[in-house]
C-alpha cells in the first residue's frame, strides 16, 4: 500500500457540498491499495503511520507521533498514488488494486488506525472529493509497504 502523509493543522473532505470528514491537528493520509496488497499490508502501513514521529517536541525536533500530540487522522482514498508516469503524458493506473479490494483495504487501514487508539475520519471511496488542508511545516512523507520487508 502507498500513502502520502501530511502533517496538518486542520483538514477536511467534502462530497457534494457537505463536509463528511474533518480534523484539527494531526495527519491527512492519502492512501492507495496496490495490486497484490492484502490486510497485512494495510495493518503494517497503519502501524507505521501511527508511530511516525513528525510532530515537534519541546526542543522543536520532529520526535512525537500523532498519538503523542493527541491528534487525529483524516484518511482519504487516492488511487492516483498508483500513477505510472514513466512513458507518455497520460499516467497509467493499472498497478492500483481493483476497486472492490481497494475499498476493502482502505477501510481496513482506517480501522487499523482506530484499533491503535487514534481518532479517524474518512473520505468516501470512489467519490469526487474536495480535500482542504493546512499543511503544517510543510511536512509531507511518502510511505510504501513495498519499500520494506
- Annotated catalytic residue 85: no
Q: Where are the alpha helices (DSSP H) in 25-143?
A: 39-51, 99-115
Q: Which of 55, 79, 109, 122 is catalytic?
A: 79
Place of cell 487514534: 118
CB atoms within 10 A of CB 78: 20
- Using CA atoms, how far residue 124 sits from 92, 99, 120, 140, in Å, is 22, 13, 13, 22
In the set 14, 22, 55, 78, the catalytic residue is 78
Catalytic annotation on 78? Answer: yes
Active site residue 55: no
Q: Which of 66, 81, 65 is nearest to 30 (CA)?
A: 81
Could you give the residue numbers annotated as active site?
Answer: 78-80
Amino acid at each position: 500500500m502507498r500513502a502520502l502523509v501530511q502533517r496538518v493543522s486542520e483538514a477536511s473532505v467534502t462530497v457534494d457540498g457537505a463536509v463528511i470528514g474533518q480534523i484539527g491537528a494531526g495527519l491527512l493520509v492519502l492512501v492507495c491499495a496496490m495490486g497484490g496488497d492484502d490486510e497485512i499490508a494495510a495493518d503494517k502501513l497503519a502501524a507505521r503511520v501511527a508511530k511516525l514521529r513528525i510532530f515537534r517536541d519541546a526542543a522543536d525536533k520532529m520526535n512525537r507521533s500523532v498519538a503523542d500530540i493527541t491528534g487525529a487522522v483524516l484518511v482519504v482514498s487516492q488511487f492516483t498514488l498508483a500513477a505510472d508516469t514513466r512513458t507518455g503524458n497520460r499516467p497509467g493506473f493499472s498497478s492500483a488494486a481493483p476497486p472492490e479490494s481497494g475499498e476493502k483495504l482502505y477501510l481496513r487501514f482506517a480501522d487499523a488506525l482506530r484499533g491503535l487508539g487514534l481518532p479517524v475520519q474518512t473520505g468516501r471511496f470512489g467519490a469526487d472529493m474536495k480535500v482542504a488542508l493546512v499543511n503544517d511545516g510543510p511536512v509531507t512523507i511518502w510511505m510504501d509497504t513495498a519499500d520494506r520487508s
